[in-house]
Amino acid sequence: MEYARAAIISIAFLVLPASVQAQSIVVASTTSTEQSGLFAYLLPEFKKARGIDVKVVALGTGQAIDMGYRGDADVLFVHDKVAEEKMIAEGFAVKRLEVMYNDFMLVGPASDPVNVKGSDVVQALKKLSAANGAFISRGDKSGTHAAELRFWKMAELADKQGGGYKSCGCGMGPALNMASSTNAYALTDRGTWLNFKNRGELKALVEGDKRLFNQYGVMLVNPAKHPHVRALDGQKFIDWLVSPAGQGVIAGYKIAGEPLFFPNAAK
What is the spatial distance between Cα 104 and Cα 94, in angstroms, rounded to a whole number? 27
Cβ neighbours for 122, distance < 8 A, ≥ 6 positions apart: 151, 154, 155, 211
Q: Would you say 260 and 102 are in contact if contact means Cβ atoms under 8 Å apart?
A: yes
Nearest CA-CA partner of 93 in 223, 215, 217, 216: 223
pLDDT of residue 237: 98
Question: Is the pLDDT confidence value at 5 over 50?
Answer: no
Distance CA 105, CA 122 (A): 12
Bigger pLDDT: 35 or 225?
Answer: 225
User: Strand ranges (DSSP E) for the chain?
Assistant: 24-30, 53-59, 75-78, 97-109, 135-137, 165-167, 185-189, 202-206, 213-220, 254-255, 258-259, 262-263
**Residue 258 pLDDT:** 94
Q: Domains in the chain, please, with CATH?
A: 2-101+216-263 (3.40.190.10), 103-212 (3.40.190.10)
Identity of the residue numbered 68:
G
As a whole-number percent, the residues of the chain with pLDDT over 90 amount to 85
- What are the distances in angstroms from CA 230 to CA 21, 66, 162, 196, 233? 10, 17, 46, 34, 6
Q: What is the mean pLDDT of residues 13-33?
A: 70
Out of 16-25, 67-76, 77-86, 237-246, least confident range: 16-25
Average pLDDT over residues 137-157: 94
Whether 67 contacts 57, CB under 8 Å: yes
pLDDT digits (tens, 9 = 90+) for 169-198: 998 999 999 999 999 999 999 999 999 999
Neighbours of 2 (CB within 10 A): 6
Tens of pLDDT, residues 29-65 = 998 899 899 999 999 999 999 999 999 999 989 999 9
CA 30 to chain centre: 3
Torsional sign, CA 217, 221, 225, 231: negative
Query: Which residues does 6 contact at the CB level (< 8 Å), separation at least 6?
Result: none
Backbone angles phi, psi at 140, to 5 degrees: -125, 15
Average pLDDT of the chain to the nearest whole number: 91
Does the pLDDT at position 267 exceed 90? no
At 86 the pLDDT is 96
If DSSP codes are grouped into helix, strand and coil, which group holds residue 50? Answer: helix
139: Cα within 13 Å, side-chain hemisphere: 13
Check pLDDT > 70 for residue 228.
yes
Digit-coded pLDDT (tens) for 114-133: 999 999 999 999 999 999 99
